[in-house]
């Protein structure tokens, strides 16, 4: 008890020596520090979609205290995202099958399009993660185990692994000095050619070399596993070249020629559906306004057993909207109700929006477009950018289609109030799209997030603390004597043993 009295007396003596200026400085400093923390927390939340304090607590403090991260309920064995070795929730999210990253069927040319954008704006449109995925694709499709037996192919095998663009281009030229190498022409067409015309010339040279390799390996494919792998590689190379030639023709305005090349390619290699050539065909047919042919392609690929995409869902919605959009009026529809055709169009739009809710803001030009990445995440912002970049013009061409979309797309969210827990026509919306899209899209682009996240607790707490300390600082500055007396009175009450005894 004597120690408590001594402590109380010391505290009272210390508080009596403090001047009002001290309290002004104390509250002002506290307000400044809490304000800086609030600004940093808000910036971190906008950039990474989570609270910094919360992330540090979960990632570093919780394991030390013996806690277990059960985020998204994915830490239970048997859950599709379960992984015993996953160090944090990010790794768990990336294991979800819904968040598989796909090659963009309409990806641009690096030299003729992406690099030209960089020269003009000084910005890099591709992320390192995106380009690394492309390097892995090239090694998968354009190399095989027998490449070391052919000097030119051995050089290209190393070139596809090279990070430096100039080193890759130099290696391609070195390979061409030894032999007519199809993959070397591909690399030069993709990265060195500065115009689509130059790229098309190089791809035609690649086609000549690739067809020769394909015919030779086709005759030997049944002679062993190595020959079969080489034939598979040569098939991939030939399909890639023909597809890019068709895309060159489309970009140069020869759309009918591009459609013929794509149709021939799909007939010649019907099993290579992983390249999604039908999405290139749909875009070209829409440019020709061949809507009956577009419907025929959709009838084949918009099937319940086949994977969906924004191109499939939104093209189907566009065709149904086209039948009613020119005469559609929201005022008239509210008076008389929707007709059967209008109801079908609205349902198709709701279906498309449920699959990818990010697309409408780009089609309605509520968000600015950027160059699409080389890889996309289905149902994510990257896929929305890739779709809108090529298809916005087709929606504008159909009179009233964008107006119908504007009037009806938000109704989808009333049908799915909890998209992460339950879907309507599709599986629940994947929880990891934001993380993957931030890796695929450049830093200068503001990633679209669905559903909108509530502000984390620590941001609200920091905002409250900042406001409270700012109010104290203002009151202390305006009434220093009164606030000084108040500050000295509260600790005195707490330290007074008589008061404590009363309680």
Domain boundaries, the chain: 2-99+456-502
- Give yes or no for residue 80 having a pLDDT over 70: no
Interior angle at CA 139, CA 135 and CA 140, nearest 5:
115
The Cα–Cα gap between 229 and 471 comes to 73
Max Cα distance, the chain (Å):
103
Q: Contact 447/381 with Cβ under 8 angstroms?
A: yes
Tokens of 82: 């379960």
Tokens of 378: 């289905």
Q: Contact 236/229 with Cβ under 8 angstroms?
A: no
Dihedral of alpha carbons 207, 209, 210, 215, sign? positive
Q: Contact 348/335 with Cβ under 8 angstroms?
A: no
The residues with which 102 forms a beta bridge, in sequence order, are 376
- Give residue-wise pLDDT tens across range 150-188: 899 899 999 999 989 999 999 999 999 998 899 999 999
What is the C-alpha radius of gyration for the chain, rounded to an integer number of angstroms? 31
Three-state DSSP at 103 gives strand
The residues with which 101 forms a beta bridge, in sequence order, are 377
Q: Contact 103/135 with Cβ under 8 angstroms?
A: no
Tokens of 85: 């070795």
Which pLDDT does position 166 carry in this prediction? 93
The Cα–Cα gap between 321 and 343 comes to 10
Q: Dihedral of the CA atoms 277, 282, 288, 294 (nearest 10)?
A: 130
Which pLDDT does position 498 carry in this prediction? 52
Give the other-Cβ count within 10 Å of 83's Cβ. 13
- Give residue-wise pLDDT tens across range 223-251: 878 878 888 889 999 999 999 999 999 99
- pLDDT category at 69 given cuts 50, 70, 90 is very low
Any long-range contacts for 292-296 (C-beta under 8 Å, 24+ apart)?
A: 294/319, 295/319
Kindly state the average pLDDT of the residues 52-68: 61
User: Which H helix or E strand runs over 101?
Assistant: strand 101-103
Give the other-Cβ count within 10 Å of 126's Cβ. 22
Which pLDDT does position 2 carry in this prediction? 58
Q: Which of 301, 289, 192, 185 is nearest to 245 (CA)?
A: 185
């Amino acid at each position: 008890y004597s120690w408590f009295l001594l402590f109380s007396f010391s505290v009272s003596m210390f508080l009596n020596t403090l001047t009002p200026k001290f309290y002004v400085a104390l509250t002002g400093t506290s307000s400044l520090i809490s304000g800086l923390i609030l600004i940093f927390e808000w910036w971190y939340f906008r950039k990474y979609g989570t609270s910094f304090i919360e992330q540090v607590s979960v990632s570093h403090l919780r394991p030390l205290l013996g806690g277990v991260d059960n985020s998204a309920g994915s830490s239970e064995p048997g859950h599709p995202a379960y992984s015993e070795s996953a160090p944090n929730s990010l790794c768990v999210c990336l294991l979800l099958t819904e968040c598989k990253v796909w090659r963009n069927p309409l990806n641009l040319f690096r030299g003729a399009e992406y690099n030209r954008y960089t020269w003009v704006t000084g910005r890099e449109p591709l992320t390192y993660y995106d380009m690394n995925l492309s390097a892995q694709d090239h090694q998968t499709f354009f190399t095989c185990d027998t490449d070391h037996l052919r000097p030119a192919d051995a050089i290209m095998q190393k070139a596809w692994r090279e990070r430096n663009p100039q080193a890759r281009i130099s290696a391609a030229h070195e390979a061409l000095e030894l032999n007519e190498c199809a993959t070397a022409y591909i690399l030069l067409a993709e990265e060195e050619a500065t115009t689509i015309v130059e790229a098309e010339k190089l791809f035609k040279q690649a086609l000549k070399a690739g067809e020769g390799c394909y015919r030779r390996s086709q005759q030997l494919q049944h002679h062993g596993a190595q020959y079969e792998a080489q034939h598979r590689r040569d098939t991939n190379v030939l399909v890639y070249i023909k597809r890019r030639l068709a895309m060159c023709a489309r970009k140069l305005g020869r759309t009918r020629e591009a459609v013929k090349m794509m149709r021939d390619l799909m007939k010649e290699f019907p099993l290579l559906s992983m390249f999604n050539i039908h999405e290139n065909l749909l875009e070209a047919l829409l440019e020709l306004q061949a809507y009956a042919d577009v419907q025929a392609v959709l009838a084949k690929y918009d099937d319940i057993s086949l994977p969906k995409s924004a191109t499939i869902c939104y093209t189907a919605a566009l065709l149904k909207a086209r039948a009613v959009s020119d005469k559609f009026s929201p005022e008239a529809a509210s008076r008389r109700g929707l007709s059967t055709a209008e109801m079908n169009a609205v349902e198709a739009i709701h279906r498309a929006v449920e699959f990818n809710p990010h697309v409408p803001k780009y089609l309605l030009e509520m968000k600015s477009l950027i160059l699409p990445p080389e890889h996309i995440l289905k149902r994510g912002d990257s896929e929305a950018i890739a779709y809108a970049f090529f298809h916005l013009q087709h929606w504008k061409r159909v009179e009233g289609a964008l107006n119908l979309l504007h009037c009806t797309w938000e109704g989808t969210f009333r049908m799915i109030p909890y998209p992460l827990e339950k879907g309507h026509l599709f599986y629940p919306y994947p929880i990891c799209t934001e993380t993957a899209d931030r890796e695929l899209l450049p830093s200068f682009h503001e990633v679209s997030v669905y559903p909108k996240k509530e502000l984390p607790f620590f941001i609200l707490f920091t905002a409250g603390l900042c406001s409270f300390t700012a109010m104290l600082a203002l009151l202390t500055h305006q009434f220093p004597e009164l606030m000084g007396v108040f500050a000295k009175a509260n600790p005195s009450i707490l330290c007074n043993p008589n008061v404590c005894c009363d309680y």
